[in-house]
A and B are shown apart, each in its own frame.
Chain A
Amino acid sequence: MNNEMKDKYQLSPILLYFLLFVSIIDLGILSYQKTILHFAGYNAWISVFITGIGVHVIVWMIYRILSSFKNEAMDVIDVNRICFGLIIGKIFDAMIIFYFFYGAFLMFRGYLSIVQVWLFPGMPIWPVSLVLIILIYYTVTGGIRTINGLSFWGMLAVIACVLPLLFMLTKYLHPLNLKPLLNHSVTEIMLSSKSMVFQFLGVESLLMIYPFIQSPAKSQKWAHFAVLTSTALYVLLLAITFMFYSENELKLLVWPTLHMYMILHVQFFQRLEHVAVSILCITIIANLSLSLWMASRAARRSFSIKQHRSILVFLFAFLLGAVFIKDYDNLMAFIDPYSATGFYLLFGYIPILFVMMQFKKNRNKP
């Protein structure tokens, strides 16, 4: 399939950084401490490092897959076509489309439940859903450039939200909590790494964005830089969370990061979690727009469904689903299969594609 983009529509390499950063750091930053605490306890920050390194390897693999043929920039649809042929390729495409859509939906509903718990208890879900859906539609119809612009602001929003936590909490930190440094077995640390992969599940956006980047080879360093900064952010925030809370308390909290905001206060503002949840709206919208854009674009390239139609279908499904899921506990049940799928996509499907593309490339050589 001819996938050449006119130079006018392409993004310069540095802009890839914002897209990837916003894909990776999304809603999970508010509650990820709980999930990885389960196996490795307070040694979990080591798991985050390990996951980060794994993701770096995956990014490298993605670049090798998508640049296998020098003269064209491919995306995952093309790769599926090449590796699996037409019919099975389309099946995989459909699964990828559904995966992107499902991930976006979970984040959408998750954000709404955070708003419901922290800002407006008892608020009806459908008005906010409707307005957010209109906003997402407006963003997605602007194309990848608009989404990129919004993700720049999303990145600034995340930095603005996390910086106070890194610098203003020094009075309440207990560095002793980080000791003992290693009292869990390697298996437990690896299991925590596995559950941490869920937080890095934005990296596969690279699979669809690749053709839109101007000089793909130069952009690789920005992709790695995005993963590096996300890992650093996760590790730092985790370290601060561990120094701030005791383990028993952390097990009781659902959103530890938001809880940490309660103690901050500036001259004429206190209770900064209201501000934090509202500011993160920008990041969430950028993230959702990107996922939905990728899903509708994959639908167009694979099944020739017009992007306008597919986006409307997705958004309508958002509204229905948001109204039918009643609360956060309900939502948790839906997250586990997504997390498992994401793990196998990143660490199973992509290596398989890598190996297969190596064969195809070698076969094409005389």
Chain B
Amino acid sequence: MDNPKTAVNTLTQMIHALQKSSDFKTNTIALPYQEIFISYFITLIDETKLQESLILILQRRSSESPIRSTEELLPLIPIHELEITDCLEVIHQKLFKGYVVIRLNEDDQKCALVHIPNQIGFRNSNDTENEFSVVGPKVGFIEDLDTNIHLLRLQINVPSLIVKEMTIGSMSHTRVAILYIDGITNEEIVSRIEKRLKEIDFDIVFDSSQLDQIIADNSNTPFPLFMSTERRDRVVYSLISGQVAFISDGSPYFITGPSTLFDFFISPEDYYLPWILGSFFRLIRIFGVIFSLFASALYVGVMTFHYEVVPHSLLGPLIYSRINVPFTPLLEVLFLEITIEFLREAGARLPTKIGQTLGIVGGIIIGQAAVEAALTSNILIIIVSLSALASFATPIYKMANTIRFLRFPIIVLASIWGGLGIFIGVCFLLVHITRLKSLGFPYTVPIYPFRAAGFKDSFLRLPYQINHSRPSYLRPKLLQRYKPKDVKKHKQEWDEN
């Protein structure tokens, strides 16, 4: 028990101790032959349902004969989460989860616990604003675990979708559910996640992403090692590919793993558009990310060290743009990049109406004024704003943050050693992502370890005909998802088709 002063040994004492909170109520239901005592937290219980499914039923039953023992209540009450116990720990836990304690006598140790939760306070639907897509379903998750699992079961309605629950958090006792598809998923992945989650010692779990960071293979990396999403179609796609998903109660984000670097460039829209367009947009995203990482660094490198790389016709505009700027290119770039970071951070927290105006005004006026005052060059403003835009080309917000962060070390390296510095930075990055493992699986599959089959769904999204098997690095039990359609051979003449 939490309170060391009064030792609570019996149920009666516990209920007496809980009376201190004004939202804890103990009611006596007066029935013809006896009195039944119910105790619960008003704020956690749905009063209407209490009235209908509990009190009415009890009144109806005991109008004929008295209820002798608590066990008789079991078949009576039409709510499935019902148990009979006398363990104080369990009773204490369940009271906080919206259970009602039913005792037949006031000093009974044994009681029945019935679950009648109150569902208000949750959103009805989730507009997935952070992961918006133009086409396709926009079904998202909310903060209630049962609703989320309900949504998933609606789409994957086979019995092989297994849900394993556990409790994490010494103060919050949060329910965490692990989901996977039996018969497809490699058992090792499931057991790894279970083992790691069981070993967690934490106090309150606010969000699944905390769990994701704690159980990650390497918490010192800026790269996200698990995918977190609040869209239903993404989670379903991970599950059927052979990945495992878990979520904690109170969080709308599902964490799926193991993930690779390319999973963060995949958008559900790619699958709803024709494959040529889907592949094109993926390539644009990857190009955008590379541009975002290296554009400012290239500017710094060329302006500081490698003036010979510029062709004759570009020399004029480039030199003119910097002619009165008193700073070195490094300081110019850092100044602009940090300004953009300020704009982004401030814009994320301002109320909508102020945010829009300030964003436009701030961006345009600061940019224009900086050029007029010759603090920066206009070419650089274009480059920095384009790369800031391009860093948000990745559909997953976590990866966009990583890209924005990684720009800075590369810019600093470029200012020390120019082009060589950029490639030293690239080397560090490459070694780092090659060393990363997500749940023990390498992070840069299919590039390294090289798997030709894995390229079908990474840079390009090949048509459903070709793309019919699961990623092999996950070692799923069943490799093929579906049988592709046979392509008709053109034995007929062209004009007779």
Contact surface of A with B, Cβ cutoff 8 Å: 11-12, 14-15, 115, 119-120, 127-128, 131-132, 135, 138-139, 142, 145-146, 148-150, 152-153, 265, 267-271, 274-275, 277-279, 281-282, 285
Contacts and interface: CB of A to CB of B under 8 A. Distances in A.
A142 B308 CA distance: 37
B420 A281 contact: yes
A265 B434 CA distance: 33
A189 B428 CA distance: 42
Interface stretch (B26-34, B48-56, B443-451): B443-451
Given A14-B450, A274-B419, A142 B431 contact: yes
B60 interface: no
Contacts of A274: 306, 308-309, 418-419
Given A128-B417, A274-B419, A281-B427, A15 B450 contact: yes
Contacts of A150: 427, 430-431, 434
The 4 closest A-B pairs by CB, nearest first: A149-B434, A278-B419, A149-B448, A278-B423
B426 interface: yes
Nearest to A141: B435
A270 B435 contact: no
Contacts of B311: 265, 267-270
B11 interface: no
A132 B450 CA distance: 26
Contacts of A275: 309, 419
Interface in B301-326: 305-306, 308-311, 314
B152 interface: no
18 contacts: A14-B450, A119-B419, A119-B420, A120-B305, A131-B424, A135-B424, A135-B431, A142-B434, A146-B435, A152-B447, A265-B311, A268-B314, A271-B306, A274-B308, A278-B418, A281-B427, A282-B427, A282-B430
Nearest to B312: A270
A196 to B, nearest CB: 28
A285 B422 CA distance: 14
A142 B306 CA distance: 33
Contacts of A268: 311, 314
A138 B431 CA distance: 8
B428 A135 contact: yes
A282 B309 contact: no
B305 A139 contact: no
Contacts of B450: 14-15, 152
A148 B450 CA distance: 11
Contacts of A127: 416
A149 B444 contact: yes
A281 B309 contact: no
Nearest to A143: B435
A283 to B, nearest CB: 10
A243 B416 CA distance: 38
Nearest to B433: A149
Contacts of B431: 135, 138-139, 142, 146, 149-150
B303 to A, nearest CB: 13
A127 B426 CA distance: 18
Nearest to A285: B427
